[in-house]
Amino acid sequence: MTYRVFCMIIFLVSASLASDVTVAAVVPAPPKAKATSYLVMDHHSGRMLVAENIDERVEPASLTKMMTAYVTASELADGNISLDDMVVVSEKAWRMQGSRMFIEVNTEVSVNDLLKGIIIQSGNDASIALAEHIAGSEEVFVEIMNQHADKLFMTGTKFMNATGLPDANHYTTARDMATLAAALIRDHPEIYAWHAIREFTYNGIRQQNRNSMLWRDEGVDGVKTGHTDSAGFCLVTSAKRGDTRLVSVVMGSDGKKARLRVTQAIMNYSFRYYETHKLYSADEIITTRKVWKGNSEAIGLGVVDNLYITIPRGKYKLLDASIELGESIIAPVGKGDIQGSLRVILEGKELINKPLVALQSIDEGSIFVRFKDGIMLLLE
């Protein structure tokens, strides 16, 4: 017998109280900017609030170093390297042109200093030195970079080097850069925190962080600048205001000041007109269901990951959530088994449709329980 249940959860308001709801003004269109592509994404919900040419293939320039840092952070987390490791600087690393931390050939530099040299000083020399330490050569390190890109579903990206120096086959998209920034924040928060450091001194040379947004907006705590003649001026930024964290990407603007203006404009727009709410935590019981023929009579259902929603400001009280449950649950039940779905709707538009899963496993009950429940199911 099919057992379908529809239960409606109203977030602080019902239709009968609609007259008491204060509705925010209509959200205007986002500002237009002079850049090849740009976006703003909510970090927690993944919703795009501003999006212009976000899947267009572009050069990442030194934004590439976000992946160099991500790979290094992953190697640290896996225990394959240590921040205290000493790295012998090769001639290749020493000879790198462009932005540098000024390491010297055949000297030893710690992984700690090299990683700061990448994140704060955007050092091409530091990038090569770390790549060679981790993988033996830059070429093998690039393979690891692309493997991580695949795991993160960065489908529009291909890396050819660890620095971002121009190469016809070295490319990305604004969407993929936002994905990478979000992964760095989520997976390696302790290393991401280094992106907020404003200056770093090595070998007697003090250099400021190239991300000027750190001085312009107190909510900004990362992430990376990039520039070559062919790529233009690029900037990935993350900022937090209250409980909302946004990630912005600007690709191919025409100057340092221009990329700052675009970033500030699209960030201010997004913070002004949108807000993010955490609806449910991972493994939080959203609803319970009866279990037949099991060693427990009920089971909790919830979502696999923390569930966030980003909506126009002032619209939270208009959210409706409905739970749809499927057939009767008969033991055994495995943790993570899909048992229904959660839908969240705003003004008639579905914003979320997530599976509801069993939050624990339930084994079969005794012979008596299975027999009794079998009879009850026949009478349903």
Choice among 45, 65, 224, 293 that is catalytic:
65
> What is the spatial distance between Cα 36 and Cα 172, in angstroms, rounded to a whole number?
13
Q: What is the pLDDT along the chain (380 residues), one digit of tens a residue?
A: 333 333 333 333 333 223 334 444 589 999 999 999 999 999 999 999 999 999 999 999 999 999 999 999 999 999 999 999 999 999 999 999 999 999 999 999 999 999 999 999 999 999 999 999 999 999 999 999 999 999 999 999 999 999 999 999 999 999 999 999 999 999 999 999 999 999 999 999 999 999 999 999 999 999 999 999 999 999 999 999 998 999 999 999 999 999 999 999 999 999 999 999 999 999 899 999 999 999 999 999 999 999 999 999 999 999 999 999 988 999 999 999 999 999 999 999 999 999 999 999 999 988 998 888 688 888 77
Reduce the DSSP state of residue 14 to 3 states and report it: coil
Choice among 37, 45, 62, 238 that is catalytic:
62
Instruction: Tally Cβ neighbours within 10 Å of residue 166.
Output: 14
Reduce the DSSP state of residue 263 to 3 states and report it: helix
| Assigned fold of 37-276 | Beta-lactamase (3.40.710)
Assess whether 62 carries a catalytic annotation: yes
Q: Does the reported pTM lie above 0.85?
A: yes
Q: Is 208 within 8 Å of 99 (Cβ atoms)?
A: no
> What is the spatial distance between Cα 38 and Cα 55, in angstroms, rounded to a whole number?
10
The residues, ordered by sequence, that sit 6+ positions from 117 with a Cβ below 8 Å of its Cβ are 101, 103, 123, 125, 126, 200, 202
Choice among 37, 45, 74, 122 that is catalytic:
122
**Domain chopping of the chain, boundaries:** 5-20+281-379, 37-276
- Strand 274-280 vs strand 307-312: parallel, antiparallel, or unpaired? antiparallel
Q: In CATH, what is the architecture of 5-20+281-379?
A: Sandwich (2.60)
